[in-house]
Amino acid sequence: MGQSLSSLCDFGETERRILMVGLDGSGKTTILNRIRGGATFHDVETTNGFNLETVDVNGATLTIWDIGGKCLPLYYHYYQDAHAFVFVIDSSDEMRMKQVSMELTHVLKASRVNRPVLILANKQELPMAMPATKVREQLTQALPELLREPDRQWIVQGTSGANGSGLDVGMDWLVNALGN
């Protein structure tokens, strides 16, 4: 602890550091696999620590840190160094929305206010999944500070790690927001 992300890796000037966070089992590693071009959907092991991938999206080089949900507190210190966040939610698990709000609060408090937050309402293909609009509604009720940060760019995008839907739209938004 105590080191900055940029001191751990030698980043080029155009690279952008993206932290992918969210509760364990929300689908972060599955989504990372999709973003890096893996088309197949299969069970992945829970992440102990983090996975790191560099991907090109629309001409932008993104270094994505996929942090295991059970390890998040160990990495809060790094939030201030991130250029943007991908915050993944299991939309089929309404029972954990309070815990989700608490984790999102950490992102808002520990990061700089001008860092974009792409919130993915994942597992949309499941019949019991809350639609992205409902996830957004619950978050804005639980975290009114989201609405009070005028310089914060954020969206809630529905996705499925199972079939890849919604990911392109979300990543397009993220790259565009990073350019603003």
Q: Which is nearer to ligand GTP, 30 or 111 (CB)?
A: 30
SS3 108: helix
> How far are the Cα atoms of 87, 143, 160 from residue 102, in angstroms, in the given order?
12, 9, 23
User: Can you name the residues that pair with 87 across neighbouring β-strands?
Assistant: 21, 119
To the question of whether residue 49 is assigned a binding role by annotation, the answer is no
126 interacts with ligand GTP by CB under 6 A: yes
SS3 57: strand
Taken in order 121, 46, 86, 148, the sign of the CA dihedral is: positive
Instruction: Show the site string, 48-87: x = touches ligand GTP by CB under 6 A, - = not.
Output: --------------------xxx-----------------
To the question of whether residue 2 is assigned a binding role by annotation, the answer is no
- Contact of residue 116 among ligand GTP, Mg ion, none (CB under 5-8 Å per partner type): none
Q: How far apart are CA 114 and CA 149, in angstroms?
A: 9
What is the nearest approach in angstroms of ligand GTP to the Cβ of residue 180? Answer: 28
Q: Which residues are annotated as a binding site?
A: 22-29, 47, 69, 122-125
Where does this chain bind ligand GTP (CB under 6 A)?
Answer: 22, 24-30, 43-44, 46-47, 68-70, 88, 122-123, 125-126, 160-162
